[in-house]
Amino acid sequence: MGLYNSWEEKLPEPLRSLRCIFCDSPIKPVNEAPSLDAFQYVCQNCNSKVVIEISGSLLADHLYERLQQDNPYKMELHTEIGNSKQKKFPLTVTKIAEHYHV
């Protein structure tokens, strides 16, 4: 699977417990891009047709913790995923940093 899918026990919470970072629902890790440096999963509650890809860089960055504490932004992203017609929803340090203007 994606590089981070191979090391689920090393993921930060709530991903380590196989819970969605946006809605805390159970998730299913997927193998959409095995060479991708990301954790990839599907959340039935967010959008069962979208693979959420959280980059390894974001998982290792302080912005991941900041995102976890920002419920309004998590709800905004949850809505964006729910409305998405794309097959993938990549979350990167760049995307999150743009939101926080850092």
**What residue ranges do the domains of the chain occupy?**
5-100
- pLDDT at residue 1, rounded to an integer: 38
Per-residue pLDDT band for 6 (boundaries 50, 70, 90) equals low
What does each C-alpha distance from 20 to 3, 9, 11, 13 come to in angstroms?
A: 18, 15, 12, 9
Query: Residue 28: which of 9, 45, 11, 41 has the closest Cα?
Result: 41
Query: Residue 69: which of 26, 25, 9, 12 has the closest Cα?
Result: 12
**Mean local confidence (pLDDT), 37-41:** 92
Residues 6+ apart with CB under 8 A from 59: 4, 11, 12, 15, 39
- pLDDT at residue 77, rounded to an integer: 98
Q: What average pLDDT is seen over the chain?
A: 92
Give CA–CA dist 100/77, Å, rounded.
14
8-state DSSP, 48: T
**Mean local confidence (pLDDT), 13-41:** 92
pTM across the whole model: 0.91
Residues 6+ apart with CB under 8 A from 9: 16
Per-residue pLDDT band for 27 (boundaries 50, 70, 90) equals very high
**Mean local confidence (pLDDT), 66-78:** 97
- pLDDT at residue 34, rounded to an integer: 79
